Amino acid sequence: MSEPILSPLHERHVALGAKFSEFGGWLMPLQYAGVVAEHKAVRGSVGIFDVSHLGKMRITGPGAVDFVNSCLTNDLRRIGPGQAQYTLLCNADGGVIDDMIAYLFSSDEVFVIPNAANTTEVVATIAAAAPAGITVTNEHRDFAVIAVQGTDSDEVLTALGLPVGQDYMAFAVASWQGTPLTVCRTGYTGERGYELVVPAAAAPALWDAVMAAGESFGIAPCGLGARDTLRTEMGYPLHGHDLSPVISPVMAGINWAVGWDKPSFFGADALRAQREAKSGRLLRGLRADGRAIPRPEMAVYVGEDEVGEVTSGTFSPTLGVGVALALIDRSVSLGDQVSVEVRGRREPFEVVKPPFVTPGVRES
């Protein structure tokens, strides 16, 4: 087995006393002070994450946008240059190879950020379909990604002279100390925030600058543990849990991420058939009535009938109770009571519609 890849910021994490875990072949910080403290820092002020393990792929050439649009589920015609879009790459059965963000630079250039573990497959799949004149480049190791998330994120980046105030899912190309970088109004926490895509060599200096600028706001370095609790509170799906090669966007309840009116895209026929059939399980939110904490693969019951399985589950630091996403039979409705088998006990939960919390995001 090969050694995990180290982030360009690895030495910074070691100095901060991070605890590490492997994510998609990368050794990344799981937590520093603790998941709950880091989670609350993002909900209450500002946190900084290293998410450099995420993939980076660039598609260039005449008609690059039209080509990408023929592969991915969402419709890039809905956005213009300087905007980003959540989208998916599906297999022929409608299952999800990966979910990702596509950044539209021009009609001839699209930058895509998939998940770390799936980057090689995503690049290979797109490259295999590319016509003459279209170049697909894997830039996974070329860039770092620093996420600055929380209601004070604007003030922190303003102190560095970086552009803020973009609409959600929009980005700006900027320069910091002579280094070009992209400031994206995106994130995985539900709070107002930005993701900074910067050349890997410049990442340590930028990390230090963000930490210094955020000191007066109580900025906290945050690991991927808090990133998971934050995204679960928002009901955001995670590939390999709530999306997978056998869990389609229809099942996951993200039909909005599919351009149904497009002539074609990978998996289109299967997804249209699923949508029409209205059969199979759907991803729902579960909120604990008691103190139980749900975890993936725990069974969900109505009475004695097993009706589903937890795909993501955690303790919500904001609510103080357990929350989960689960694939559940369509016979179960919002507001219904179910039970989850937690450590051999059937614990009561309510079926709810995510998000579980209202973030403190500043809209202006």
Instruction: Quote the pTM value.
Output: 0.96
- Cβ neighbours for 343, distance < 8 A, ≥ 6 positions apart: none
Structural contact between residues 134 and 61, judged by C-beta atoms closer than 8 angstroms? yes
> Cα(230)–Cα(190) distance, rounded to whole angstroms?
7
What tokens appear for 47 in the block? 């946190």
pLDDT higher than 80, residue 1: no
pLDDT grade for 279, boundaries at 50, 70 and 90: confident
Fold of domain 5-51+141-234 = Gyrase A; domain 2 (3.30.1360)
Please provide the DSSP assignment of 79-106 as one string: --TTEEEEEEEE-TTS-EEEEEEEEEEE
Tens of pLDDT, residues 205-220: 999 999 999 999 999 9
pLDDT at position 2 is: 81
CATH number of 57-138: 3.30.70.1400
pLDDT higher than 90, residue 349: yes
Tens of pLDDT, residues 154-200: 999 999 999 999 999 999 999 999 999 999 999 999 999 999 999 99
- Cβ neighbours for 13, distance < 8 A, ≥ 6 positions apart: 7, 20, 29, 32, 50, 221
Q: Which helix (H) or strand (E) holds 124?
A: helix 119-129
Domain boundaries, the chain: 5-51+141-234, 57-138, 280-352
List, in sequence order, every beta strand (DSSP E) within the chain.
5-6, 19-23, 26-31, 47-50, 57-60, 83-90, 96-106, 109-113, 135-138, 143-149, 171-176, 179-184, 193-199, 220-222, 282-288, 299-302, 305-316, 321-328, 337-342, 345-352
DSSP bridge pairs for 306: 301
> Cα(263)–Cα(326) distance, rounded to whole angstroms?
32
Answer with the residue of higher pLDDT: 179 or 361. 179
Question: What count of other Cβ atoms lies within 10 Å of the Cβ of residue 266?
Answer: 20
Q: Is there a shared CATH topology between the 5-51+141-234 domain and the 57-138 domain?
A: no
Fold of domain 280-352 = Elongation Factor Tu (Ef-tu); domain 3 (2.40.30)
Pairing of strands 26-31, 5-6: parallel
pLDDT at position 178 is: 96
